[in-house]
Amino acid sequence: MIVDLPGTTSGDVSGHLVRIRDEGGAVALGRVLTLVIETGPHEVEAAIFAANAASREHPCRIVVLDRGHPPRSGGLDAQIRVGADAGASEVVVLRPGAAVTEEIDTLVIPLLLPDAPVVAWWTSEVPDEPSRDPIGAMASRRITDALTCPDPLGTLERLRASYSPGDTDLSWARCTIWRAQVAAVLDQPPYEPVTSATVSGNARHPVPALLAGWLARGLRCPVSVVDADSSASMTGVRLERRHGPISLERPDGSKVATLTQPGHPQQRIVLPPRTVSDALAEELRRMDPDETYGRTLTRGLDHVEMP
């Protein structure tokens, strides 16, 4: 069900949510968090789709700040989506006018679930300091997506300079399965130290840089990123050891990677690119700061050789 509320206030929107819940049986008692999303032009539906998919694992109230569609009323227009239009969540879309944009946090506060953590997600444009942003300041977790910005690596550098515990980026979740596979291989005999490592992929994307920073921080060895001239963020990882290299390669456009290591037959491993919904669902699994991401971003990248 979709309810449009032109020329409204946050208090009225909250009241409508209560009436919809009482009259239609849509309950919010199982919601575990409030997800506040800031979107730009033409991003609202994609963001809601990803959040609805993630909400099936993490039931939540979704509050979307739509910056791309000025309200017809000049003040605040809103829309409520529940039931089949909202996954396992309640969706509130706010379209603030210029008169109320400066007080954006006061629009959101009445819609927060009581006694539940708040997570902020910027789908493209990233604040200079997410933790000091009006929305970010009320959130225990702040999710950015450097990959969608015009200058992904430049954005990653800005996030690095302004990092605060609780910050994370979807590019970190995009490389989770690569990190898991590398860790699993290194957890097997002969336990030789890695002397150097190479990460290949699209060097303009932040995913190879973060994976390389994680390797440099954990292995204490030289790590370089090689531009594979690929549309995919990641295409491979190569770890050099005394008795031969370990190689995990995924051809551009494939969902299957090949693992090669000395003394073992080649293995084919399903390693599909992760969707925004997958990455978002992973980041919503924890409300505490991701210390590994923080160390990788602020310290590991110092030891990565970029092309």
Give the tens place of pLDDT for each residue, 153-163.
999 999 999 99
Q: What are the DSSP E strand ranges found in 117-270?
A: 118-122, 141-144, 167-169, 196-201, 223-227, 234-240, 246-249, 256-260, 267-270
Cα–Cα distances in angstroms (integers) from residue 133 to residues 103, 165, 190, 226, 298, in the given order:
12, 14, 48, 35, 20
What was the pLDDT predicted at 87?
A: 72
Which residue type occupies 235? T
Which residue type occupies 87? G
What was the pLDDT predicted at 28?
A: 47
Do residues 54 and 277 make contact, with C-beta atoms less than 8 angstroms apart?
Answer: yes
Q: Residues of the chain whose pLDDT is less than 70?
A: 24-30, 73-74, 88, 98-102
What was the pLDDT predicted at 73?
A: 65
What was the pLDDT predicted at 190?
A: 86
What was the pLDDT predicted at 61?
A: 93
Q: What are the DSSP E strand ranges found in 25-164?
A: 33-39, 60-66, 76-81, 89-96, 118-122, 141-144
Give the tens place of pLDDT for each residue, 218-269.
999 999 999 998 888 999 999 999 999 999 999 988 999 999 999 899 999 9
List CB contacts of 160: < 8 A, sequence separation 6 or more: 297, 298, 301
pTM: 0.93
